Chains A and B, each alone.
Chain A
Amino acid sequence: DAGVTQSPTHLIKTRGQQVTLRCSPKSGHDTVSWYQQALGQGPQFIFQYYEEEERQRGNFPDRFSGHQFPNYSSELNVNALLLGDSALYLCASSLSITGELFFGEGSRLTVL
């Protein structure tokens, strides 16, 4: 039973570029949440997707957007990258909007 998988694991971008991160939830899970973890900080909630809709959102600008597909997989898009967007981006899936979260290993983004 595959857990939560994320891709790519590492990537490097330059300021102003755009990035797309991908997440496949754990088998049977229908809800995906995205978190940003800067170095030395705890994960910060970006948004949550359920039934292909964004259900709630944290304090992140509109440059951060997402999508959930019919197979429950999800993408996180960040436009106009800033140096401060460098972080580990974690995807977590759950069964329903209140179930236990299972995290993927993350995508480590470096913005130069």
Chain B
Amino acid sequence: RKEVEQDPGPFNVPEGATVAFNCTYSNSASQSFFWYRQDCRKEPKLLMSVYSSGNEDGRFTAQLNRASQYISLLIRDSKLSDSATYLCVVNIPTGFQKLVFGTGTRLLVSP
């Protein structure tokens, strides 16, 4: 089983739509979780951290379900500029910062 699994998509949605991405992880000892955004041929950039209680940043909401080892990202009112690949990232507890990335989910927002 992969350490981090995501649906690769692509997800094609119209502007204004709500879209949700899911991610599962295999290491139950993992403590830190993140969503990164990566534009085509660019480096990944931190979108948001994921906390146990769930957290929201504007149109973006991240949730964590430890029992099911499941992370989600919800984007409301999609914008054209949201088109990118969204990477689910888990910090593996080795005592150091070892981030394990999923393959990413590609989002295409159309007019």
Contacts and interface: CB of A to CB of B under 8 A. Distances in A.
Contacts of B46: 100-101
B94 to A, nearest CB: 6
Nearest to A108: B41
Interface residues of A, number: 25
A44 B98 contact: no
A42 interface: yes
Contacts of A99: 97
A97 interface: yes
B44 A56 contact: no
B101 A43 contact: yes
A98 B101 contact: no
Given A90-B43, A90-B44, A45 B99 contact: yes
Nearest to B49: A100
Contacts of A101: 46, 97, 99
A105 B43 contact: yes
21 contacts: A33-B98, A40-B8, A42-B4, A42-B104, A43-B101, A44-B101, A45-B98, A45-B99, A48-B96, A55-B96, A56-B98, A58-B98, A94-B97, A97-B95, A98-B97, A100-B46, A101-B46, A101-B97, A103-B43, A105-B43, A106-B43
